Structure formats: structure tokens, C-alpha cells
Amino acid sequence: MTSALLQEWDTPFQIAPFDKISDDEFAPAMEHALAEHRAEIDAIASNSELPNFTNTIEALEAAGDALDKVLGVFFTVAGADSNPVREELQRQFSPKLAAHFAEISGNKALFSRVAKVWDQRNELDLSDEQARVLMLSHRGFVRSGAALAGQEEARMKEIKGRLAVLGTEFTQNLLADEREWFMPLGEGDLDGLPDFALDAARTAGVEKDAGGPVVTLSRSLIVPFLQFSTRRDLREQAFNAWTARGANGGETDNRAIAAEILALREERANLLGYENFAAYKLETEMAKTPQAVRDLLMAVWTPARMQAEADAKVLTKMMQQDGVNGPLEPWDWRFYAEKRRLVEHDLDAAALKPYFQLDRMIDAAFACANRLFGLEFKPLDVPLYHADCRAWEVTRAGAHVAVFIGDYFARGSKRSGAWCSAMRAQAKFPKPQTPVVINVCNFAKGDPALLSYDDARTLFHEFGHALHQMLSNVTYESVSGTSVARDFVELPSQLYEHWLEVPEVLAEFATHAQTRAAMPQDMLNKVLNAATFDMGFQTVEYVASALVDLAFHDGPAPSDPIAKQDEILGTLGMPPAIGMRHATPHFAHVFAGDGYSSGYYSYMWSEVMDADAFQAFEEASGPFDVERAQALEAHILSTGGSRDAAELYTAFRGRLPGVEALLKGRGLATD
């Protein structure tokens, strides 16, 4: 086959030649790559030699190169630059890929060889990383159902295939709702909106061909609207549309899909001998058990709810002073919180935003990586999948380390949220390969593009994930970069957010978009002093989502997830003016795939570690302490999943952390 997807890429650092790849190549390239991978697997399974680490485990590691290339390109563009053709291809590919990998995990001859290598593990002269790869490979087969037979084996294949289809449908329904809805803003609808929000609304209006400014369901546009618009009726309309994503009835409604996903997950776990899906999923994570997760979340929930309830009383009084009677509503919270921030901290988000230019924040993230790890970033002129994207070559001491791609702006073809992915992961086997890493965000366009403080944190967060990929230094791709326990993967990303708050970083890079002047010292002080402002709200909306996710999977699957969600929130005493950060019909973390199912708590679990890890820098010579940075790279950023996560953290810090540093960092400590 002559598709550019399957040829050797004669491009700088073998980046995918996006300018030579057309949508009609994906399906035939996928079929070719699947057939090639199937032949490789069959050769391993039918090998007449006695199974050993080389001819079985390493052979599995080396297989599937063509498939990796095709999937790396396709899922990059399908998530960040979708179109009807790519959406249809996703619907076609999902069940095929699920069936393909189910066929591999259910290959009895192959599993027999893996099991035999596992049985003789103590007699093999394996390195620590090889022993880890063997354990993960064997465990993966067992947890995928390789030991099942007969009707149970057949049913497991059906479940996996159906879950793949449902996850794709959930994602595409959400994208459709986000893409189709917008609210036009007439001249009388703009009151209170600062210039940056108006610019973003006008830009969105051009994209929607609306003939004027609009509010869309992009977080980078709707949150500022909820913060600043004085039109309470429009805030209510926008908020209701935002929270109704995936629950509007018709073809894009996700509620029945969520119920079926939960039922199938429970059945899958039961087939493997687990009481429920949470028990199955958490077995391989740091937390290990649902109870450990619940204990952490409730330790944070209680003080967070107390703070949120106290804040709600203050905001209600402010609202009543404006002549608005009745209870504080969810579409009021951000508006009055912004007013309160201005009063209590003299911090105006609109006045602050010009100091957070996108380009300067990218420079800041790069500069911190240079000081901590010696990385340098040089712009790279290569064809990419969208005109918004830009690329850099990453080097250290003159040696090539990685390619980093940034795709920062919101658009209708991109799913919401922010993420990091590796089109190619670091590995040394079967041949050396350096990573190609992508950060995808959904910031509002502007000239120049300006970020909120939360946007800037998101940029640093995703770049922390990118560092985990770029600094990986392992042999096998299966344990490279972010291939770690789900509740450990957010440690590098959340830890890196702390460097945005370092005063010398803000002093250097938070410069005004027009005057180029550094942020005044009094404003800088206000930013840092207000770091925990409204943290009750932020913590409650997150922890509520995490507790709902856990409850969905830690027990019988609910036939009506919405009723179950409401029951959980009622039991928790959810403040009525705060909604879940991700309600069930648009909870893509949990329902678009298995990644964060029973695992949305992992951001909080990782935050316990990131608060403690940054404290290690502060206990040394400061945020740029050389020895702490070297230890962070040596024990966490370079090691991927080559060792147990708890071992890695203990090697870095000397112990595992408690929840105290997290509560202190969020301003929720009660002592």
C-alpha cells in the first residue's frame, strides 16, 4: 500500500507528514495495519521455540508499529480537528479496534506463552524494568479476560465491542451539542463584558457566521460570560445550555448511553470475578480500593462544603443588595464571586488578563523547564494538522530530546477540554525513538490571545504532562512517559502548575499586552494572596463529580444514572448554588472511555502528592533547587511506569504524603 501513513516518514524527526495525508487514506491504512499486526501476533503465538522474554514479551513490544503510526495520526486529528468524515471513521474504527485487541487478549496460545514466561520469572535474569514489563503484560492479559472460555469469553468480546461504540457515541454527541448551540448577543446584551470577552465573542460569531458576537459552550468563553455579564437572564440561559450538554433529548442525548455503559462495566467486572467495576479498576492504582478513595474525598469534602456554604451566604447578601430576591442560583455564583474578588482582594480579572498573554505564558513554561531540566525550545517549521498549531524542537546540551506541538485555540472541530497526547512515545526498543508530544487546549482567540489565570494554569498543567513524556528515559514503550497508574499520572502536571505561582516567574513573564510593562508588584501580591479565593466552590464542584463517579461504579450499576446522581448529591448535602463540574450526560472523563472511570478522583489523589512534592522544593533552596529538580527527573519524570508509583514517589520524597499539604494549599485547613 502506498499511503503516506504507512511509508517511512522522510520528515524532520519523522513527524507525520500531515500535508500528504488525506481522510480517504485512513480506512485502507487501518485495515493494512490491523492485518500486519494480526500477522505479527500470530507469529509470536505459533512460535515453535520455548517461550522466553525475548521471543514473547519483547516480541509483543515490537509488534504493531504500523498500527501505532496510523492510530497516532488519526486520533490526533479526530479529537482536535474533527469533521463529518472523521466522525464516521471513528464510529467504524471503534468496534474494529475493540474486536482486534479483544482477539489478541483472548488468544489462548499467546496467553499460554506469556503465562509460561511469567511462571519462570524467578529463574530469568531480568532487569527491574523487564520484570515490570513482564508483570504488566501478564496482568493485562488476565484482566482482559484471557483466562475466560466459552460463553464468558464470547460475552467479554461483545461487551468490549459495545463499550467502544458507546464511548464514541457519547463523545460525538457531546461534540455535536457543543458545536451546534450558541447564543447571539445584541447591543443590549453586552453589559458588563470586558474587552477580552467581547473580542472572544466576536471571534466566535465570525466562526459561527452569526453576523455578530455570540456565546458558545466553550469553557473559555462561557465562564467569562458568567463572571461578568450583568444580564442575569442571559447568564441563566447560557448556564442552562452549558449544563444541558448531552441531555437535550433526540439523537445526541447521552443519558441512556451512560446507563448502558455502567451496566456493561459491571458485567465485565463480574465476569472477571470482581464485586463491581470500581473494585476491578482500582486494583491496579495507587489507591487500591474504593474505600481509600472515598476516605480521601470525604476528608476534603467536609471542609470544602463548610467553606462553600459560608461563601454562599456572603454572595447571597451581595445579590440581595443588588435588589435581586430569592436564592443564590448557579448562574449567579461566578458573577458575585468576581465582584467579591474585586472588593476583598482589589483584583479585577479584566484588568489582570492583559498580563497573561498566551505567547508569554508559553515562554514562561519553557523557561521553567530550562531552569529545572536544561531543556531548550526552538521553533520548528513543519506541516501540521491545523493552521493554529505550532511546533518546537526540544533539545538538551545540543542533543535532540523531543518534538513539542501546541494547539491552543478553541474551534468547533475540537472537542472541549484540554489534554496531552504522544503521537510517538519515547523508547529504546526495538529501536531508539524520541517522543512527539501534543498539548491541546481551548483558549479564546485574540490579537494578542489573552488568558485568564485559570487558563494559564491549564497551560502549565498540560505542559507538565508533556514533560513527563519528553523526559522519559526507559527501554520499553509500554512503560514510557505517562504510562503509569491513573492516580499518579496527574502528579507531574499538577506539580508543574506551582511554577506559575512563583513570584519571579510572574514578575518576568506576566507583562502587559499593550505596554509590555511587568505586572505591578501590588497586583502580583494580590494575585498570589488570592490564590485560594473561591476554593470552596472549586473544590466542591470537583469532589462532587469524583464522588458521583465512584458511587456509579462501587455497587450495582444504576438503571437511571441521573436519579442516582441526584441521590448522591442529596446525601452529600450539595450546596444548591453549585453544580457538579461534570454532570453525567457530559462527563466525558468517565463515559468517553474507561480512562477515568472510577478514576476522576485521581486529580485529588495526585494533588496530595504534588502539594507535598512542591513543599520539598520549598524546604530546599526554593522552586528551582537543582538537587530537587534532578531527583524529580530521576525518580518520576524519566521513569514512566517502569516501577511501582508508590516506590517512585518514596524514592523522590523519602516517604508517602498525607492530606495536610493539600488542605493547606487550598486554604481549607481547619487548624
Of 497, 496, 500, 498, nearest to 509 by C-alpha is 500
Q: Are 439 and 462 in contact (CB under 8 A)?
A: yes
Angle between helices 486-497 and 645-653 (to 10 degrees): 30
**Helical axes 65-80 vs 26-45, angle rounded to 10°:** 140
620 φ, ψ to 5°? -90, -130
Longest dimension (CA), the chain: 83
Question: Which is the catalytic residue, given 58, 178, 285, 462?
Answer: 462
Distances (CA, A) of 354 to 188, 192, 351: 25, 17, 7
The candidate with the shortest Cα–Cα distance to 160, out of 171, 140, 145, is 145
N-terminal to C-terminal alpha carbon distance within the chain = 67
Distances (CA, A) of 220 to 177, 411, 449, 457, 460: 16, 11, 12, 13, 16
Our separate counts of H helices and E strands in the chain read 27, 7
Contacts of 376 (CB under 8 A, 6+ apart): 370, 394, 395, 396
Residue 337 sits at the vertex; the CA angle it makes with 331 and 340, to the nearest 5 degrees, is 145
Place of cell 511587568: 518
> Residue 203: left (phi > 0), alpha (psi -120 to 50), or beta?
alpha
**C-beta separation of 648 from 639 below 8 A:** yes
Known active-site residue 462: yes
Which residues are marked as active site? 462
